[in-house]
Amino acid sequence: MPMLPPSLPMLFRAFGKRQLRLLPAVVVLGLVSAVLEGFGIGLIIPLLGIIMGHGDAAGMDGFSAALQHVGSGLSERDRLVVISVAILGSIVLKNVFAFANTLLTTFISGKASHSIRSALSEQLLRVGYPFFLRQSPGRLLNIISNESWRASDAIQIMLSAIVSASAAIILLAFLLLLSWRMTLLVTLGLALVQIAHAILSANLKEPSRSVASRNGHLASQMLHLVHAGRLIRIFGQENREKAIFDTASDAVRRASFALLVRQGALPPLTEVLHAMLFLAVVIGAWLAQVSFPLIIAFVILLYRLQPHMRALQGSWSQLQGLSGSLEEVTWLLDPAGKPQPPQGDGPFHGLRQGINFDDVTFTYSGTDRREVVLHAATFEIRGGRSTALIGRSGAGKTTIVNLLCRFVEPDTGSILVDGSPLDRIDASQWRRHIALASQELELVDGSIFDNITYGQDAATAGDAEAAARLAEAHEFIERLPQGYETLVGYRGVNLSAGQRQRIALARALVRDPDLLILDEATNAVDGLSEAAIVETLKSRAGRRTTIVISHHHSTISFCDDVVILSGGRVKKQAPFGALASLSMDELYQHEPLD
């Protein structure tokens, strides 16, 4: 049976070596505190000897006999005062060191907890984007908001266990010095109690995993209630959703109850076993005719040992109870089996000639199947021109955007940028030269100015206003009470759909990117605003490259070229002027060239 949950070492590695280097100090402070406590308790032997007139020394030898003669050269009155002061001093010093250890363990635990959460956020920011396409948002939310805190609790429990173990070792050493025979009996009893406790604690792992799993499902339901509020209300599904949520919540309650019942049964059981051991030691010492002062000192030491042993046993059961949470956090932190971020370290200084898709195929990986969404696509996006990507839903347009942004990588074929493979270019440098405005990109929770300048830290208030004017957003922003300092709310809830789209477009335009990608970026904008935006996009012609995805003929009317997609295949690429007279339905149905 392993002494620690297997995921705990990875958590220690996650919060770094700086805090680990402080662990010896925790051990030293714990040992010093326990030595002072044991020494103070040991001085009870000569104290009681003075009170009882030195008449009872039976069973004393070695260390206990040495304690009996502490201060023997002093008068009885002075000796009583000195021993009393020494006992009080040891108690005071013991608590000073204990408080210092509390401060140190709290500091280490806090830093470790922060490091774990920081490591989780870094993993979410660095992991390859396909990871988010495969995982449940509810599970990820539960790990970040719930399980990471339980992992922090596990760190605190481990530190407390180190302190308790240090104290237990020293107190056992003092017991051994006082009477090795009685200590042998105590050690045997404690070993039996620990074995019984470990066997019972082993049954906590499965309930803990069940709690973690059900918490993930409950988090998914919470997200659904928040994000699908309009859908639920318009179709009158409040009662249905309430029943589903209550079922998920009750499943968490039942799983937690099962775990807590098993955990709750352990402390009473171990306390009864410790009480039996305590009585056995007292009765055994009396039958062996051990001196009364020695019995009292031994019993007090044993009494002080028991909380530390119970704390160790409690730590064991708590760690077993947290094993499901630890496994979830460890799974997210572990890079094994997760998509890697885009590779490539080549420099990129700007788009000049254009982009070529050469026989590109891509499939989205699912749990049960792999769906091919782009089949051997070959087409060109010429530099300094505007290219429309059109096709019915599911034609592969957004997949092309994801490939260009390097959210995903082709399965076969290659994407060439000015003749160089895109996968050899440093992704960060490439993304600094492109911008995306999409109906799926969220606004951040901040002001309008924060959203427009998001990703362009050097942008000034003038830059933000200029971009807003280009996106036909300046007028409505100026009418708001706080203007550009107006808070947009969570996901832009304080703004209309059209206002959100115009701010998102301004966010893309403020970068003046080499490549601007508009993915249904104006579908919620009124006709007049859209016409003005189209005029703005025309001004990029000849110096910047633009890709437009839309189902509206008016939105793509300014484009130079058009790529028609159907079922993940390129049906045709042609100058848009040659096909401008066709409606969108006619463009979708256009026959491919031989």
pLDDT tens for each residue of 281-325: 777 766 666 666 667 777 777 777 777 877 877 777 778 777 788
Is 339 within a domain? no
For residue 379, pLDDT over 90 is answered with: yes
For residue 360, pLDDT over 90 is answered with: yes
pLDDT confidence of residue 302: 73
Q: How confident is the model over 75-99, as a mean pLDDT?
A: 83
Is 342 within a domain? no
For residue 361, pLDDT over 90 is answered with: yes
Q: How confident is the model over 136-159, as a mean pLDDT?
A: 82
Check whether residue 390 and residue 288 sit in a common domain. no
Which of 303, 333, 363 is the last residue in one of the domains? 333
pLDDT tens, position by position, 333-346? 888 888 888 888 89
Rounded CA gap, 218 and 207, in Å? 16
pLDDT confidence of residue 426: 92
pLDDT confidence of residue 489: 81
- DSSP structural state of residue 491: G
DSSP secondary structure of 401-426: HHHHTTSS--SEEEEEETTEEGGGB-
pLDDT confidence of residue 219: 77
Give the domain extent around 491. 354-588
HEC string of 77-119 equals HHHHHHHHHHHHHHHHHHHHHHHHHHHHHHHHHHHHHHHHHHH
Is 594 within a domain? no
Neighbours of 25 (CB within 10 A): 14
Is 340 within a domain? no
Which of 333, 365, 380 is the last residue in one of the domains? 333
pLDDT confidence of residue 114: 80
Check whether residue 247 and residue 368 sit in a common domain. no
Residue 181: pLDDT band with limits 50, 70, 90: confident
For residue 520, pLDDT over 70 is answered with: yes
Cβ atoms of 94 and 166 closer than 8 Å: no
Check whether residue 80 and residue 198 sit in a common domain. yes
| Percent of residues in the chain assigned helix, strand, coil, to nearest 5 | 60, 10, 25
Is 433 within a domain? yes
Rounded CA gap, 588 and 564, in Å? 7
Instruction: Report the share of the chain in percent with pLDDT over 90.
Output: 10
The count of structural domains within the chain is 2
Q: How confident is the model over 161-168, as a mean pLDDT?
A: 84
Check whether residue 322 and residue 369 sit in a common domain. no
* Mean pLDDT, the chain, integer: 80
pLDDT tens, position by position, 21-57? 788 888 888 888 888 877 777 777 777 767 766 544 5
Q: Helix, strand or coil for residue 446?
A: coil
Check whether residue 306 and residue 452 sit in a common domain. no
Residue 594: pLDDT band with limits 50, 70, 90: very low
For residue 416, pLDDT over 90 is answered with: yes
- DSSP structural state of residue 447: B
For residue 525, pLDDT over 80 is answered with: no
Looking up residue 494, the CATH number of its domain turns out to be: 3.40.50.300
For residue 357, pLDDT over 60 is answered with: yes
Check whether residue 287 and residue 389 sit in a common domain. no
Is 593 within a domain? no
Cα distances (Å, whole numbers) of residue 264 to 185, 314, 324, 372:
28, 10, 18, 52
Which of 333, 363, 391 is the last residue in one of the domains? 333
For residue 13, pLDDT over 70 is answered with: no
pLDDT confidence of residue 195: 77
Residue 385, both tokens: 């021109």
Q: How confident is the model over 197-212, as a mean pLDDT?
A: 73
Which of the two residues, 321 and 327, has the higher pLDDT score? 327
Residue 544: pLDDT band with limits 50, 70, 90: confident
Check whether residue 47 and residue 113 sit in a common domain. yes
- Which range scores top for mean pLDDT: 151-155, 173-177, 233-237? 151-155
Residue 358: pLDDT band with limits 50, 70, 90: very high
pLDDT confidence of residue 228: 64
Check whether residue 538 and residue 410 sit in a common domain. yes
Is 244 within a domain? yes
Q: Which of 585, 551, 436 is nearest to 505 (CA)?
A: 436
Check whether residue 399 and residue 295 sit in a common domain. no
For residue 199, pLDDT over 80 is answered with: no
pLDDT tens, position by position, 209-244? 787 788 777 777 777 776 666 556 655 677 877 888
Residue 459: pLDDT band with limits 50, 70, 90: confident
Residue 2: pLDDT band with limits 50, 70, 90: very low
Q: Helix, strand or coil for residue 220?
A: helix
Q: Helix, strand or coil for residue 139?
A: helix
Residue 526: pLDDT band with limits 50, 70, 90: low
First-residue to last-residue Cα distance in the chain: 69
Q: How confident is the model over 487-495, as a mean pLDDT?
A: 81
Residue 213, both tokens: 């799993």
Check whether residue 408 and residue 512 sit in a common domain. yes
Check whether residue 436 and residue 561 sit in a common domain. yes
Residue 3: pLDDT band with limits 50, 70, 90: very low
Q: Categorise residue 545: left if φ over 0, alpha if ψ from -120 to 50, beta otherwise.
A: beta
Is 338 within a domain? no
Residue 58: pLDDT band with limits 50, 70, 90: very low
Which of the two residues, 9 and 2, has the higher pLDDT score? 9
Looking up residue 313, the CATH number of its domain turns out to be: 1.20.1560.10
Residue 1: pLDDT band with limits 50, 70, 90: very low
Q: How confident is the model over 183-210, as a mean pLDDT?
A: 73
DSSP secondary structure of 6-60: TTHHHHHHHT-HHHHTTHHHHHHHHHHHHHHHHHHHHTHHHHHHHHTTT---TT-
Q: Categorise residue 359: left if φ over 0, alpha if ψ from -120 to 50, beta otherwise.
A: left
Check whether residue 277 and residue 423 sit in a common domain. no
Which of the two residues, 564 and 185, has the higher pLDDT score? 564
Q: How confident is the model over 480-485, as a mean pLDDT?
A: 88
